[in-house]
Amino acid sequence: MSDPVSEPGLTRISSRDNAWLKQLRRLAHESGASRRLGQAWLEGDHLCRALRARGIQAEAVVFSESCWDRERASDWSDAAARLVIVPDALFQGLSALESPAAMGCVIALPSAPQLQPGAATVVLDRLQDAGNVGAILRCAAAFGFGQVIALKGTAGLWSPKVLRAGMGAHFGLRLIEGADASALDDLRVPLLATSSHQGELLHRSALPWPCAWAFGHEGQGVGAALAARAGGHMRIVQPGGEESLNVATAAAICLHASAAALESRQGGSVPA
């Protein structure tokens, strides 16, 4: 996505047909655009501030005209190579929210990181729902699982919906996406899989740390090939009798159980 041309450091765009703005709309609304363009769109003050808190420079910070003022310019002048101002109506076209935010950031996607064999890891197996993926990333960051491996068929980790659901968790995680299951050969930590019908009850298990948790497709669960790799299968007690839990809910329970088990053994906080 090429830069808009304007005065150094500040760009005002007023045309809906501006080429840079057209590509920004693709980033904002098309799930595969981030990978094609090598960039991502972060909508809203919260995501932009989470980015800054990690010391990551944006390529551009975009403001709606009504929210632009000199105080805000001072706040964000060091956050990106360029500040962009667009009319409110055009900014609304960038938003997928019922109540559009007043600003957003364009960032370059990070280079694909190397897998860390001994890291506490979450493996995502063909998860389709962007809200579930983002929620699991948020849980991974909260509970000390610093590496996420998304196998092929999983929703794009940098898509707008996943970014919104992740609430800034992306910027503190090692994210590996589009991976083949063979990439898991390099893991040197126990792999655990969830199951609704087999394995140990989670609350009775001595959970290893570090470990890797595998969470599967919303309807099909963890695939057979990945389940066969797992050294342990865990069930979550469900006295209410529901057939299964939402995958993001199950992930939150499992990751918290691992973090709590580590804290109990060490009597301290879980390492990041």
Per-residue confidence band for 5, with pLDDT thresholds at 50, 70 and 90: very low
209-220, pLDDT tens digit by residue? 999 999 999 988
Reply yes or no on whether the pLDDT at 270 is more than 70.
Answer: no
Question: What DSSP designation does 217 have?
Answer: B
DSSP reduced 3-state for 123: strand
Average pLDDT on 7-13 reads: 77
CA distance 1 to 246: 37
Question: What DSSP designation does 5 have?
Answer: P
Average pLDDT on 237-251 reads: 85
What is the signed CA dihedral for 153, 154, 156, 157, rounded to 10 degrees? Answer: -150
